[in-house]
Structure 1
């Protein structure tokens, strides 16, 4: 995680510290944006916008919340706004297969199909449900961290996760029964 001294130096106007800080978080910011938007170009745009906002607002960061929570709130809000402006179409990433590892070709293909089905199911979720799923299961945030990141009450986060899991179960029902490809 980010060193607190680096954050304080960046807030004090140290340009090198600010650049180091942004470099340290850029992969996390992009990953969150990509999982929410499921589009590489949109995710790159959202990540860039988030990094610029962090750059300009670092002075307003208060230690009431964890730094990673503050960063995730910024990127998630940008993604939700972008998602609302132009709802993305579902796209499936091409997965490169690496035959050098221990998985057989069949296992690799099945794993790729499962990942695609899960990605499609997540894409069908409403944006707030998608955001809590991404933060909980892909970014490994606690419920409290999600609540802080999204500026939601803790019970709302729990409710969104509960409903999102129900929706995912419904969406993945055919897959669980043996997978209907199509």
Structure 2
């Protein structure tokens, strides 16, 4: 969490404070972009674009909203723009598996496959469902924060999450049975 004093300094032109703010938010920005767009290349582009927007618009930030909500809204909007420009490639890149000391190898492999199945299932969700899932479960946003970030009514957020959970449950059940194809 970025300290309010640091944000104020950045808004008042303190370059070092601005750099520190950007460093503190870059991981969260990238993570959101990755889960929305589904691949590393597009996520890096979106994160960079979002950080530039935060850099150039930090003076517009008002304390009535949480800073993390404000920045997540920026990255979400950047991702939406990317969806509009081109249909994203939602294939999930292969994950490298790092095994420690040969202990619990089977558990580690199972965990990796489950994580990959979850990522693939999230990538198959419609854009609006994917965004609320990413913000809620990967970024730990409250329903109100999601509502503010995406500029959606609270009940719409709840409805999207409900439908997304249903879709994920169905997709993961199909994965478990081996029934989902590309």
TM class, shorter-length: over 0.9
TM-score by length of 2: 0.92
Name the SS of the counterpart of 1:130 in structure 2.
Answer: helix
The answer for unaligned runs of 5 or more in structure 2 is none
1:108 CA displacement:
2.2
Aligned length: 181
Aligned equivalent of 1:37: 37
1:180 CA displacement:
4.8
Correspondence 1:122 to 2:122: yes
Aligned equivalent of 2:140: 140
Aligned equivalent of 1:60: 60
The answer for unaligned runs of 5 or more in structure 1 is none
Correspondence 1:3 to 2:3: yes
Looking at structure 2, the residues matched to 164 and 59 of structure 1 have their Cα atoms a distance apart, in angstroms, of 35
Looking at structure 1, the residues matched to 171 and 179 of structure 2 have their Cα atoms a distance apart, in angstroms, of 12
Equivalent residues in 2 for 1:18-33, closer than 5 Å: 18-33=18-33
Deviations 1:104-131 (A, max 9, x none): 3222222222122111111111111100
Aligned equivalent of 1:151: 151
- Is the CA contact (8 Å cut-off) linking 2:174 and 2:180 kept in structure 1? no
1:95 CA displacement:
2.2
TM-score by length of 1: 0.92
1:164 CA displacement:
0.6
